[in-house]
Structures are given as structure tokens and as C-alpha cells.
Amino acid sequence: MTLPTRHLGPFPVSAIGLGCMNLNHGYAAPTSQEQAERVLLTALDEGVTFFDTATLYGFGANEIRVGQILGKHRQRFTLASKCGMQGVDVNGDGKLVRVIDGRAATLKATCEDSLRRLGTDVIDLYYLHRWDKQVPIEESVGALADLVREGKIRSIGLSEVSADTLRRAHAVHPITAVQTEYSLWTRNPEIAVLDACRDLGVTFVAFSPVGRGFLCGPLDIGSFGPTDIRATMPRFSAENYAANARLLAGYTAIAEEAGCTPAQLALAWLLHRGEDIIPIPGTTSVEHLREDLAAADVKLSGALMAKLDAFFHPKAVVGSRYNAQGNREVDTEQWPGEAAA
């Protein structure tokens, strides 16, 4: 497969990247090393040239996997990782707790750890995973700018920030990319930050582009295990999911009209929203990986795009995307009443 390319700052990358989180973190138990190899190497063989990981994922285990499996192919792809949110043994009992820490010294130390785990001399795109609101964004970005000057990272990204925070950060050092959840059922970037990205020439990287599985078809929410982050998300509560699931029949009908699967329709919609948008779906399945990548060949008419926009308007979706703690931790714009939903 030959995937079309898009520009991520100075890097030409495949129009669809791969989010690597699922292999270690977020949904089910970590995959086996053999399955991780199948997914990552198949992605590379199928033309993916943009891989996204983070210090947080598996508390470093995901970076280790990406480094072990893809290290020998390092010149063939653009590598992104993230800092500012990691596991810390705060109680001295050996149990790691997720901590947001944007202090300069922490970010620089985390980068050294990431370089070691990834087995590379430089990270192409290094994101601030969350803005630590106890630390001015200018201070955190200043630390990342030092890493650019030292040659340890090539460019800077931000994750889950508002338009105002992006502009403040960009004034310190050019920001290459903003990564935020964006899909048909999460339209928050359209409030302000997507326009800010375009004003500043910043690429928008869309994570969870298939709505954490919602846009792939019906889910059995009762099967979510203890490590599945969706179990804490209001949209996936029994009551809210039942309301949201009513959208699926109409959505599936639109996918049939477009001649593609529901997951492909979700990805194709994002690709058609602008050349400056790069979705990074994640999966533990080679079959699903190939299905996702085939979305690059799906063509959507203006009329069908308008139908999707109208069908998935923000008020159509019930529930906030994060719980109260998650909403406090992000800096993204919200629709009126969303945080309380």
C-alpha cells in the first residue's frame, strides 16, 4: 500500500499515522511482544511513516517496545513521544502513580529516559502530554526549546491545549503540532484550537479518531476490564451509551452509502477536513490496521460530508468525554454544559 503524505512541520509523513498506546496501555492488558511486532512491522510495511508513543504508556514499556521493534528501521519513519505525564513512585512502595509535572528539570530528565528507552539519539516530535497548570506554559516550552537546541528533539508539540495556551507557547518557540482528541463524536477542536493551528501553521494530530471504538460499531460496555479507560468516561456509562448508540444505525447507513466500513468513514471524514489534519488510530489487530489504512482511499462528496457534520453535531452526543478529574487535567475548550454531562 502506498499511503498519501502530509506535512508534519518539516517532516513528510503518511496521511494516517499509528498511535502505539493500545499495545501496552489504556484498554485491555498489554499485547504479547509477538503481536506488537506484527502490528508495528505491518504498519511500517504498509507505508505508515509516523509512529506516536509516550512516556506514560505502560509507564515506559510502550517506548521500550517501539524502540526494540522499530529501532533498526529508525530512518524510515518520524517518531513522536510525549513528556509531562508519567508514572512516579510517590509513596515509596514501588507502585507507580500517574503524575503531571511540567517543570523544566522534570521534562529534561524524562527526555533522557525516553531517548534511552527508544534507543535513539533524537526524537523527531516531542509533545508536552499535558500542560501542568502549576507551571507557566512558557516555562515548560522553554525547557523543550532547550532540548531542541541541544539536538535531543527536533520539534515541539502540545497535547490537549486551548487556542490561548497554544498561542502563548508558540510565542516562546514554534510549535509543530497540537494533538487532541478529534472525531465525528468529539468536535471540540472546532471551537477554537483548530483555527488557531491554522493561523499559526501548526499541524493538527487527531487521536482517538474512531471515537475510542464507538465509531466502529456497537460495543459491549459491560465487558470493559479494570484497565479500560472508557469505564471512567461519562459517554460510556450505561445510560449515556444507550443514548449514543442510537446514532449507530444512521451512521452505519451513511458508511454503506460511502462504500466503506464505519471505521474507515470516521477516518476519511477527518482526512477530508483538511490537509493539515493527521489521524493516528491505534489498534492491536493487523486486520483492523489494514482496514484503517484503507480509509486513505475513501472519497467523500461534499454532500456526504455535510450529512455527517449535521448528523454528529455536538448536541447529538450525550456525556462529557472525560470524567471530572480528566476535565480538570486538560486545557481544551468545551461545549456549554459539557463538563457537567
Enumerate the active-site residues.
57
Q: How far is it, in rounded angstroms, from Cα 255 to Cα 243?
A: 20
Q: Which residues contact 21 (CB under 8 A, 6 or more apart)?
A: 52, 53, 54, 57, 62, 282
Residue 315 gets which letter from DSSP?
G
Distances (CA, A) of 321 to 191, 260, 317: 15, 26, 10
Scanning the structure block, which residue is given the C-alpha cell 502530509? 6
Considering only CA atoms, which of 259, 286, 221, 233 is closest in space to residue 23?
Answer: 286
The H or E element spanning position 158 is: strand 156-159
Q: Number of H helices and number of E strands within the chain?
A: 12, 12
Burial environment of residue 44 by CB neighbours within 10 A (0 to 12, 13 to 18, 19 or more) = middle
Label the pairing between strands 277-279 and 203-207: parallel
Q: How far is it, in rounded angstroms, from Cα 6 to Cα 165?
A: 25
Label the pairing between strands 11-14 and 5-8: antiparallel
In a 3-state reduction of DSSP, which class is residue 247? coil
